[in-house]
Structure formats: C-alpha cells, structure tokens
Chain A
Amino acid sequence: MNTMDRRGFLKVAGVGGALLLTYPGSGALAAAAGAGKGFSFVQFADTHVGYANPPVNPDASASLQKGVDWVNAMTPQPDFVVFTGDLTHTTDDPQERRRRLTEFKRIAGGLKPKAVYFLPGEHDAGLDWGEAYKEILGKTHYMFQHKGVHFLVIDNVSDPAASVGEAQLAWIAAELARIPKADPLVVLTHRPLFDLYPEWDWATKDADKVLALLEPHTNVTVLYGHIHQEHHHQSGHIGQHAGMSTAYLLPAPGSVPKKAPVPWDAAAPYKGMGLRIVQDDVAKPTPEFTEKPLAGM
C-alpha cells in the first residue's frame, strides 16, 4: 500500500467541485473492516491556484477558500478529502510552479479533516513530469484503504501525452491482484478513463488498458476532474463521474466550436461551480451524487 505520509496530509477543502461520497455500510462493505460505519469524503476538482483571468473568475483562490470554509462547517465532518488534480494553474516558470503548489498546500492545510489525498493534473505536472509536484506533495500514484474501501490513485498526466504508461500499468495490476474482486474500489484520477471528447483532449490515451485491469472487479467507481463540470458515464459496470471545478466552468463537450472557459456571470456568480454530495445505498454499492452549488455556500 502506498499511503501519503501523515505529515503530508493536508486538511482538504474544495471549492466549487467538491464531492461528498457517503458509504453507509452496504452489503458489499458488510464483509469489510469498518462495515456498518458509513463514511463520507469530499472531492475537490480543478482548483487552479494561480489562475488569473478576472473575466472568468475574479479570484480563483477565494473560490477555493470558500469551499474550504464550507467543508469546515460540515456536520458531521467528512472522514477525509481528495483533490483530483489541477490543484494549480500551469506556468512555464519552475519556481512559480513550486510557489503555486506551496500556496495550494497552505490553503488546503486550513481544512479541518485530518487526512487529505492529492493527485496531479496536467497543469501541476505536465511540464516537468511531476518533478515539482513530487517535491511538494509527494507521490503521484498510490493506493490507500479506508474502512474496507480501496482507493486507487492513478496518474494520467505526468506524461504530457496523457498516458498512464506501462510501468504504472504494471504497478496497478500488481495492486489489484491483492484485492478481492467483490471489494468496493474507488479510482481517483484526473482525466476521464474513456474517450469523453478527444477533440478537446478529454481522454486518456491508454485508458482501455486501465479499464481492462479494472474490469474483473465488480464494484468500481471512478472519480475524476479535468472537464470542469459534472458528468456521468458508464464504461460497462464501471461508473465514471467528473466533478465541478472550483476555479471556472468549461462548456459541455462539443457544444461550442472552440473550447474556452465560460465567462463569469455577475448575475449568477459561481455559475457551474459547486460541490457534489454522493451517498451510497445499502442495496446498491454504487454511490449517489447530489450537486451543491458553490453559490449557495
């Protein structure tokens, strides 16, 4: 198991795209450790610290803080928080990249939950193969368990060509070989593990190889970011669910000729940004999601 160093856990928060996932102790969990004690966690997607484009978001960092404050006010508190990449906005300057990652870490450190898990987006890691990310936030792919649920964190961005790569695929295969096929498994990653809309680079090149490894597992949920909006897709029995960004909204896939952030709407601040609460059902191991607009927080 690859678990982040405890000292590396920041308290999580999420702006607009936080996702609260609740496991009430389903049948699938009944045989697992911690069964009967459902839990929740929050997912933040695409916080883009350092993003400076007032026509799109007057202050993206303030948006993240808004989400952090909301999570800190949750009752009960989530067990932990995950950030599914693009924690920072990209920069060609290696020092500025490190400054932004450090600033993100500082803001996320204001979260009350004790455990926070991170993974990179291409904005964090795509220009240096994750070098700065690993210096400041640790491993880009790892695995952890929580109350009987397995969490597999996959890096599909450090390769700027958006491949998971053979080395990581071999590692995934080895990790999955240790897990009973019926155990609940949540995959956390940045890009979709399917061709959502490759015309906008919304894909992972070797996603089919990842899905082939996941296919024998009967209870798999993929949570990702990258596309800055809520989206749900079924890859066979595997559900893939994108969360909203806290920084800015992107248009629906293929809805406009050229992909570009949706301008800030002064009449509807934080439009398209918000949290998503997901609850499991005892009869269905698949989590259920409820959107929580950031504007209402």
Chain B
Amino acid sequence: MRRPTVSGCAAALPRLTLLAALAVWLLSVSALPVPAQAQAGGEEAGVQVIRVTAEKFEFKPEKIVLTKGKPVVLELISLDRVHGFRCPGLGIRVDVAPNKVTRVPLTPDKAGSFPFVCDVFCGDGHDEMSGVIEVKE
C-alpha cells in the first residue's frame, strides 16, 4: 500500500513535529491583533461597546455620548503608533497601542462634559489630539 505523502519542506518533518508546528501556527493565528476596522462597537450582554480609534492626530469618534448610570465598554485601538487616552474627569488613563484592543469598562456616575486627550507625545498635531465624553442625565 502506498503511504500518504506530504510535499515540500514538510515532507522532511516527522509527523509529530508537523502536528506541533501546526498547533503553534494555530495558536499564533488566534493571538493575532484584531483588525482596526473590525468590531466597530456593538453590544455585549446588554452592555454597549463603543469602538474608539486613535491615529495621528485624532480620535474617532471625537465626541462620545453616554448616559449617566448606564454601563458601557470603550474599546480603544491605535491605527498607527502608541497613543494615550486620558480623561481626567472620569478617571480614565490607558495606553492605546496598535494591534491591541484596550477595553475600558465605564459606568458614568455624573453628568457633564469630560474632555479627553492623547497624553503620549506623538508628533506635530499631538497638542490638538483630543475629544470629549458627554454624559447625559
């Protein structure tokens, strides 16, 4: 009976090694970053998820409207380099890195207008990289 064969480099690998390599590859694929354009917000278990992207030199969206007492999750991701997201009025301060989603659960307990800013210097235009979270009653 003819034995099944594999071609190319894999042909030289023992079957066990091939399986191990396949497992490593699958693991690496599952750890790949979430594409920036994917998962643009949504809802998880009744909690609104809001995707916020950071890119020299703007956040999108620049204005985030929330409701007092209603929990949300901010999903922050950079499209180019490391930025910062700091919203002093709501006590938020996180790094925003490329190829990584940073999740910030938030239940605003006060209404008002709360500015946020990039606080990791990112070049000309950094000074104007900002936005605002509006919390309604």
- Structural contact, A259 and B127, CB atoms closer than 8 A: yes
Those 4 A-B pairs whose CB atoms lie nearest each other, nearest first: A126-B121, A160-B121, A199-B115, A122-B121
CA A205 to CA B128, docked complex, whole Å:
19
**Closest-CB distance, A161 to chain B (whole angstroms):** 5
- Structural contact, A201 and B88, CB atoms closer than 8 A: no
Answer whether residue B36 sits at the interface, using C-beta atoms and an 8 A cutoff. no
**Closest-CB distance, B103 to chain A (whole angstroms):** 20
Q: Which residue of A lies closest to B117 (CB)?
A: A201
- Structural contact, A161 and B124, CB atoms closer than 8 A: no
Answer whether residue A90 sits at the interface, using C-beta atoms and an 8 A cutoff. yes
Further contacts, 7 of them, CB under 8 A, given A122-B126, A162-B121, A198-B86? A122-B121, A160-B121, A161-B84, A198-B119, A200-B127, A201-B117, A259-B130
Number of B residues, CB within 8 Å of A: 21
Chain A residues within 8 Å of B132, by CB: 257
Q: Which residue of B lies closest to A125 (CB)?
A: B121
Given contacts A198-B86, A199-B88, contact A162 B130 (CB under 8 A): no
Chain A residues within 8 Å of B122, by CB: 160
- Structural contact, B124 and A162, CB atoms closer than 8 A: no
- Structural contact, A92 and B123, CB atoms closer than 8 A: yes
Answer whether residue A152 sits at the interface, using C-beta atoms and an 8 A cutoff. no
CA A145 to CA B119, docked complex, whole Å:
33
**Closest-CB distance, A208 to chain B (whole angstroms):** 14
- Structural contact, B120 and A200, CB atoms closer than 8 A: no
- Structural contact, A259 and B128, CB atoms closer than 8 A: yes
The proximity string for A residues 255-273 relative to B, scoring 1 for CB distances below 8 Å and 0 otherwise, is 0011110000000000000
Q: Which of A127, A162, A200, A259 is the one whose CB lies under 8 Å from B123?
A: A127
- Structural contact, A91 and B130, CB atoms closer than 8 A: no
Q: Which of B89, B116, B119 is the one whose CB lies under 8 Å from A161?
A: B119
Q: Which residue of B lies closest to A198 (CB)?
A: B88
Q: Which residue of B lies closest to A200 (CB)?
A: B117
Chain A's interface: helix, strand, loop or mixed, by majority? Answer: loop
Q: Which residue of A lies closest to B124 (CB)?
A: A90
Q: Which residue of A lies closest to B116 (CB)?
A: A199
29 of the cross-chain contacts (CB-CB < 8 Å) are: A89-B124, A90-B123, A90-B124, A91-B123, A92-B123, A122-B121, A160-B82, A160-B122, A161-B84, A161-B119, A161-B120, A161-B121, A162-B120, A162-B121, A198-B117, A199-B86, A199-B89, A199-B115, A199-B116, A199-B117, A200-B117, A200-B127, A201-B119, A201-B127, A205-B119, A257-B115, A257-B132, A258-B130, A259-B127
Answer whether residue B49 sits at the interface, using C-beta atoms and an 8 A cutoff. no
**Closest-CB distance, B133 to chain A (whole angstroms):** 11
**Closest-CB distance, B113 to chain A (whole angstroms):** 9
Chain B residues within 8 Å of A92, by CB: 123-124
Answer whether residue B73 sits at the interface, using C-beta atoms and an 8 A cutoff. no
CA A260 to CA B128, docked complex, whole Å:
6
Chain B residues within 8 Å of A260, by CB: 127-128
Answer whether residue A21 sits at the interface, using C-beta atoms and an 8 A cutoff. no
Chain B residues within 8 Å of A200, by CB: 115, 117, 127, 130
Answer whether residue B76 sits at the interface, using C-beta atoms and an 8 A cutoff. no
Answer whether residue A247 sits at the interface, using C-beta atoms and an 8 A cutoff. no
